[in-house]
Amino acid sequence: MATKKNVVPEAREGLNKFKMEAASEVGVNLKNGYNGDLTSKQAGSVGGQMVKKMIEAYENGLK
């Protein structure tokens, strides 16, 4: 069973900020707390944008 326990609890605020930035970039209006009213497409676009930005950051770190 999956849990929402972060490996580094102090990172939660940073991850939430990152998620909000990614949502803003793809035009999804997130609110603090529960966002169960999002469609699968909206939630997927936020997650996809987050992954895209993480890959870009990693690739830039290799240069």
Q: Helix H segments across 1-63?
A: 12-25, 40-62
| Domain residue limits, the chain | 39-63
Region 2-10: mean pLDDT is: 71
What angle do the packed helices 12-25 and 40-62 form, to 10 degrees?
Answer: 110
Place of tokens 């929402």: 4
| pLDDT 10s digits, 7-60 | 787 888 899 999 999 999 999 999 988 999 999 999 999 999 999 999 999 999
- R_g over Cα of the chain: 13
